[in-house]
Amino acid sequence: YYSLINEVGGRIDSNFASYLSFYSPTNNVKTYRNNFNYLEIPISIKFQLFKSKMLPVYWEAGINISQLISSNALQFTSNPGLYYNDNSLFNKTQIGLQTGFSATLFSNTKNPLSIGPYFIYNASKLANEGLYGGKHFSFIGIRTEILFGKK
């Protein structure tokens, strides 16, 4: 799941096509959350950097392939100056790179905790044209894992 927020105007009711939604760029300006839902298959490899039994540190690297399954994202056309939904402009399949580091706390217990920074960069363009043309998704955050029942 990825999302981003745009400032758009109010929704415009249209008799042109009932399945299309149009938004003005200036009337009654509000925030609109563009949601992108992907089904993803990650493949990664994990290396232990320090052979410490008290605080093992790991580096993980990998790739992922994802498929866009739904989106409510708005595009923009300057003529006539409207935001609208058109998912046909998006590249449905994305290929990304991922990496991160983690340290395992309480490694000698039954339920150790792994925590560390994580980064994902989708190398594929989100779209070739439109509002998202040439843009890439990226993510940076902290990943935590609890390893239940480790022996």
In tens, the pLDDT along 28-37 reads 677 889 999 9
Encoded tokens for 102: 């983690």
Residues paired with residue 146 on neighbouring β-strands, in sequence order:
113
Measure the N-to-C terminal CA separation of the chain; round to a whole number of Å: 34
Cα gap 107→18, rounded to integer Å = 58
Hey, how many other C-beta atoms are within 10 angstroms of the C-beta on 75? 20
Considering only residues 130 and 21, tell me which one the structure prediction assigns the higher pLDDT: 130
Tell me the C-alpha distance between 3 and 12, whole Å.
23
Count CB-CB contacts under 10 A for residue 49: 12
Q: pTM of whole model > 0.75?
A: no
Confidence grade of residue 14 (pLDDT, cut at 50, 70, 90): low
Q: What is the DSSP letter of 127?
A: B
Between strands 11-12 and 2-8, the pairing is unpaired
Cβ atoms 62, 96 nearer than 8 A: no
